[in-house]
Amino acid sequence: MLQQVKVGVHARHRHDEELATIFETAAQLAAELDVETVLQAIVERARSLIGTDLAYITLLDSEAGCVRMRVAAGNRTPEFMAIVLPLGAGLGGRVARDVRPIYTSDYLNEPSFAHEPAVDQAVRAEGIRSILGVPLIGRRGTIGVLYVANRQVNTFAEPDLELLAALAHHAALALENARLYEEAVAAAHSSEVAKAVAETLYKDLLLVNELHEALTDVLLAGEGVSGVARSLAGTLNLGIVITDRSHFVLAQANPPGIEPVAVDDRGCLTQGLIGHADVRAAIVRSSSDYKATPLDAFNWILCPVATREELLGYIWAMLPAGREATDVVRTAIEQAARAVALEMLRNRAALETESRLRREFLDDLMNEHPVPIDVLRHRARQAWQSFSVPHRPFIGRIASAPEVTNSLERAREAIADVRPGDFVSIYGDRLIGLLPVADPEEAHHQLDRVTAALERNGIKANLVVGGICNNLDEDRRVIRKARELQDLLFSPSMDRVLWLEQLEVLTALFEPSGGARLQMFVDSALAPVLRLDHGQCATLLKTLDLYYQCFGNRAETARKLGVHINTLYHRLERLTELFGSLDDPVRAVPLQVAILARSMNREL
């Protein structure tokens, strides 16, 4: 288990290092305006980042219908630099034609490619075996292909592909910017207008570079999605809202003069906004091509947050009055969207690790063959930092509306949103939580917040709350007893909170599967009263319940009932006629248990 945690921590550290390298590279590329320098920097960084023998770039020649070798790092032969591939031929020609990543572990022996003899000869002379190629896609379309290759047979992993694709995205934009800048500088020799355009473009490039640096600082500082929103809003002077794919607001930042966007009581963007025809159309369009889309009706930009195959959420950018959605602004938002995607994936991985640790801790805690206590304490610390403070376990059984899917996970997320520092995990068909609250009134208040959050998500929950626990042995006993009580009294149609301290006596008298037997006991014990009409039945049962709660004190019972003492005497005489002596323990104990059970579940 410890080894798994170390591996997970190492993987996260490596992910953080790769993320920092990507943004460092992006910042360097954005600041560089010489095409040759940009090209050389791209291949050298790709080679070191993926750890391959060589890296190279072919650029698209649209008129000739081919890709031509332009720059390489790590090559040995001059023939390699003369490679030209028709579109659709070889690996590079297919990447450029299909605009998708492709890799092979043994290129020369791969029959699915359309091999060109001259190209194969150059590849063979270079000693290349395995190749990964990803398209370089700029604002105007595909401009070339970025490759990494090894001189031995090996398989590229999915993280290699994602990393190279992320680098290619930044590289294509930097290369296109450098080309545009060179074109603008050349035009400036003959036109003052062109010079002004070049200066504007340069300012835009500096702005993009500033954003890259800000995003790098934010993510390396661990400020997460909120930090990205603040950096984007501050650098571009835009209102920014970042949501997940269900439109739940993860972060919002607004410079002076831009009003915050309204959210509903679930923390989501309002249906009035999401249901707007232009917004619906933009969501559909951006979710299919993963490109920033203008919302002209609002003067906003909508940009999807996505990986190569999965939509994760959206960035909603609000432009000040009179400001246009320029290419530079859209490009900057798309860059930020990639940073948000990486952060959301990292958060997801952390949550999945945390969830797994909690499930494994519960498995060990509830195991019939107890795990050594030192091991269990270590796992408890990993799963929940507050496990050593006095706390109350609770167990939840979910009965959601038919339209609510994956209700257990939805319930866990809803509780985690309300009590983010608490332990809550799925165990079998239940939720098990640990509430670090000892005071009964405060525990009542916090559980009311939990049930209210579940109701907002269309989820009904039957919760059983245990007594105060101070160690893991007490947790194990209380959780088992709470489950027994829940199995005994559970009704799918009812959402309620039961307290084990008040009802544990029922688990001592009846097995968890004894619901039918308990019902027969209640019917039999209370039969004389249950035969009466509804009004008399309810009055006499309430009187009997309070009489026992007041330990037979008639004056106290009358006061709590709000009736005259003579009225109470008449009722007690009637109850004595029906049951016999109420103070006889042989009769009193079964009556108290039956009233207690019936008060917990009126369906009995």
Rounded to an integer, what distance in angstroms lies between the CA atom of residue 248 and that of residue 457? 13
Check residues 177 and 285 and name the one with the higher pLDDT. Answer: 285
Q: How far apart are CA 452 and CA 444, in angstroms?
A: 12
Sort residue 427 into left (φ over 0), alpha (ψ -120 to 50) or beta: beta
DSSP assignment of 363-415 equals HHHH-SSPPPHHHHHHHHHHH-TTTTS-BEEEEEEEEE-TT--SHHHHHHHHH
Three-state DSSP class for 496?
Answer: strand
For the whole model, what pTM was predicted? 0.46
Q: How far apart are CA 329 and CA 292, in angstroms?
A: 10
% of the chain surpassing 70 pLDDT? 80
- Distance between CA 100 and CA 292 in Å, rounded? 20
Label residue 103 by pLDDT band (50, 70, 90): very high
pLDDT at 163: 85
Total Cβ atoms within 10 A of residue 59? 18
Residues 6+ away with beta carbon under 8 Å from 38: 29, 32, 171, 174, 175, 178
| Mean pLDDT, range 114-138, rounded to an integer | 94
Query: What does the pLDDT average to over 407-419?
Result: 83
Mean of the per-residue pLDDT values of the chain: 80
CA dihedral of 138, 144, 145, 146, whole degrees rounded to 10 = -70
Say whether pLDDT at 245 is over 80. Answer: yes
In the structure encoding, which two tokens stand for residue 336, read together?
């930020």
Give the tens place of pLDDT for each residue, 1-35: 434 433 343 444 454 455 555 656 555 555 445 77
342 contacts: CB under 8 Å, gap ≥ 6: 19, 166, 219
Q: How many CB atoms lie within 10 A of CB 266?
A: 15
CB 68 within 8 A of CB 81: no
Residue 432: beta bridge partners? 395, 425
Angle (nearest 5°) at CA 541 between 540 and 547: 90
Looking at per-residue pLDDT, the higher value among 454 and 328 belongs to 454
Mean pLDDT value across residues 98-122: 94
Q: What is the pLDDT of residue 56?
A: 95
- Looking at residue 71, its pLDDT comes to 92
Taking CA atoms, 189 is separated from 177, 192, 195, 204, 353, in Å, by 19, 8, 8, 21, 59
| Residue type (1 letter), 316 | W
Q: What is the pLDDT of residue 602?
A: 47
Q: Can you tell me the mean pLDDT for 313-322?
A: 86
Q: How far apart are CA 35 and CA 441, in angstroms?
A: 69
DSSP code string of 61-112: ETTTTEEEEEEEES---GGGGG-EEETTSHHHHHHHHHTS-EEES-GGG-TT
CB contact at 8 A, 365 and 475: yes
**pLDDT band of 586, cuts 50, 70, 90:** low
Pick the more confident residue, 118 or 37: 118
Would you state the structure tokens that stand for residue 49, as one six-digit string?
A: 């980042």
Q: What is the CA radius of gyration of the chain?
A: 34
For the segment 331-373, what is each residue's pLDDT rounded down to a tens digit? 888 888 888 888 888 777 777 777 788 888 888 888 877 788 8
Rounded distance between C-alpha atoms, residue 357 and residue 387, angstroms = 14
- Give the residue-averaged pLDDT of 489-499: 67
Take residue 239 and report the two structure tokens written for it: 């209102």
Q: What is the pLDDT of residue 481?
A: 85
Which stretches of 124-205 are assigned E, i.e. beta strand? 130-138, 141-150
How many angstroms separate the CA atoms of 266 and 13, rounded?
A: 34
Burial class (CB in 10 A: 0-12, 13-18, 19+), 421: exposed
The distance between the two most distant Cα atoms of the chain, rounded to a whole number of Å, is: 114
pLDDT classification of 459: cutoffs 50, 70, 90: confident
Describe the strand order of the beta sheet including 249-253 as a list of residue ranges.
Answer: 249-253, 239-244, 311-318, 300-306, 293-295
Tally of residues, the chain: 604
* Tens digits of residue pLDDT in 505-526: 666 566 555 556 667 777 767 7
pLDDT confidence band for 75 (50 / 70 / 90): very high
From the list 301, 246, 426, 294, the residue with the least C-alpha distance to 351 is 426
127 vs 486: which has the higher pLDDT: 127
- State the pLDDT at residue 405: 60
| DSSP H helices in 255-326 | 271-274, 277-289
Residue 313 has, within 13 A of its CA and on its CB side, a CA count of: 24
Of the two residues 405 and 442, the one the predictor is more confident about is 442
Residue type, 542: K
Contact 35, 21 (CB under 8 A): no
